[in-house]
Structure formats: structure tokens, C-alpha cells
Amino acid sequence: MEARPQVIRPYGDTSDDGMVQVSFTLPLPHDRRAEAAARQLAVKMGIDPPLVAHARAVGEAHTFFVIYGPVAHQVDLATVEVTEREFPLLNPREINTTIRRTLRRKLSVVGACVGTDAHTVGIDAILNLKGVAGEKGLEYYRELKVTNLGAQVPVPDLIRAAQAEHADAILVSQVVTQRDAHLRNTREVAAAVRAAFPRRRPVLVVGGPRFDERMAEDLGVDRVFGPGTTPREVASYLVHAVIERQSSGQREPARQGEPSGRGGAS
């Protein structure tokens, strides 16, 4: 079996040729000067020689470019860091059974898009029954009690809902990322959760297309999920995290007499 290379380069036309394609917009009308500026920028980015594969005016004062060319940079796989999944990936039956046997009540989840973020695709894909990519959302799980607050939820409203629902976990989706709004909003939520739950803090999870999964500690959350995350991954993590906290004495004792809710998975 051929050994996996430890130092790699991008692949375009032929192996190890270093070819890449990047796109960007410059605040210039589309003319020869704009294309020359785009090529110069590409060279400074390490693409040499650069080819303007596509250029198109965006209004009267901006131009969108696609640049193609080789880079000299390499990647040493020995230095690549990733966040490994630290919990088992369970199927729906295992998730429900584990919650029922361990908590002896439903696991309460409250989710929202906070601030001015009006994009509910991410939070709905995880929470809503229809789910995403062939997987049912968290509403499908019989032993999960899901409260989806939707979009543009002020942080104080999220906290009040989490308190009212006795949330075991809070899920926050952030799609709008201009000027790092997703980072500011996440830190605001984390601070509010710490203040509102000084003793029994819910598991705090954040997700969105621009998050780095290694940022959890810096953002003050328990877990960060990036693009491509499935509802089953989130449900498996919540079971792992909530039960781990209960076993270490960080969560309240199981509430007795809570009726089992309706759902698809047993």
C-alpha cells in the first residue's frame, strides 16, 4: 500500500502542480487597470503567475474576479490540527434509550438565531422534524424536548426561555458573520448564560459556516459545530455532555413524573 505523503501541495491539472483558484471583489470599475490590480494582488497572495480566469462588473464601481495559478506553498500534515469527535455517534434508538435510562426524564433543548441574524436554515435543519440530508431533526427524538425560538432573538429572551424550559442545552446558530458579528454574539450569549445559571449551567453549543471548531474555549461555549453537521451528531453530543455533567454532579437530579412526549424514534 502506498504511503500517504506528509507534505502536500494543491492539485489542479497535474499532480503536485500547486494550482489554486480564488475569487474576490475589488472596489474598481471593470477595466484593464482593475485586472492588473487583481493580478498584482494575486502575486502578493503567492499565486505566480496569476491568470484572470473570470472578471465581471458588479455595478458601476466594483469588479468580481476569479484568479487561477500556482502557489509555492506546501502543507505539512504533521502540523495540521483538527478537533476529533470525543463522543460516540449514536443512532436514534440509542439516543432515546440512553436519555430515558440515565436522566429518567426528557432532555430539554432550546435553540435560536440571536441578534439580527434572520437565517434559520441552520437551526431549523438541526431542530425541525424534517431535518437535513436524510436525517430527522431533534424534534424527531422522543426523549428530547425541543424549543425552537427562531430568528433575531434577543439574548435576554433566549435566557428567559432557557430558564422557563429548564434547559439542559442551549443551541445557537449564527450565519451572519459580517465584521465578526457571530463571534461577538456568541460571547454575549456565553456571558449571559454564565450570569443566569451560576450553579447549573446548560450545555452551550454554537454552530455556523464561519466557526472554527477549535474556538470553543475562546468563545466560552462547550462545543462548536461547523458546516455539514448533522442532527444525529448534535443529539449524540448533547447526550454525552449532559449525562457527563450529571454524573459529575454538575446538573440537577432527575425530575420525576415528567410525561414522555410524542416523537418518531423510540
**Active site residues per annotation:** 130
Alpha-helical runs (H) found in 57-200: 92-102, 121-127, 155-164, 181-196
Question: Angle of helix 155-164 relative to helix 181-196, nearest 10 degrees?
Answer: 40
Q: What is the DSSP letter of 110?
A: E
CB–CB of 236/141 below 8 Å? Answer: no
**CA–CA distance, 24 with 58 (Å, rounded to integer):** 11
CA 134 to chain centre: 19
| 259 CB burial (10 A radius; 0-12, 13-18, 19+) | exposed
| 94 CB burial (10 A radius; 0-12, 13-18, 19+) | middle
CB–CB of 148/210 below 8 Å? Answer: no
**CA–CA distance, 1 with 111 (Å, rounded to integer):** 47
- Sign, CA dihedral 89-91-93-96, equals positive
Cis upstream peptide for 231 (omega within 30°): no
Strand order in the sheet with 51-58: 19-26, 62-70, 51-58
**CA–CA distance, 152 with 115 (Å, rounded to integer):** 5
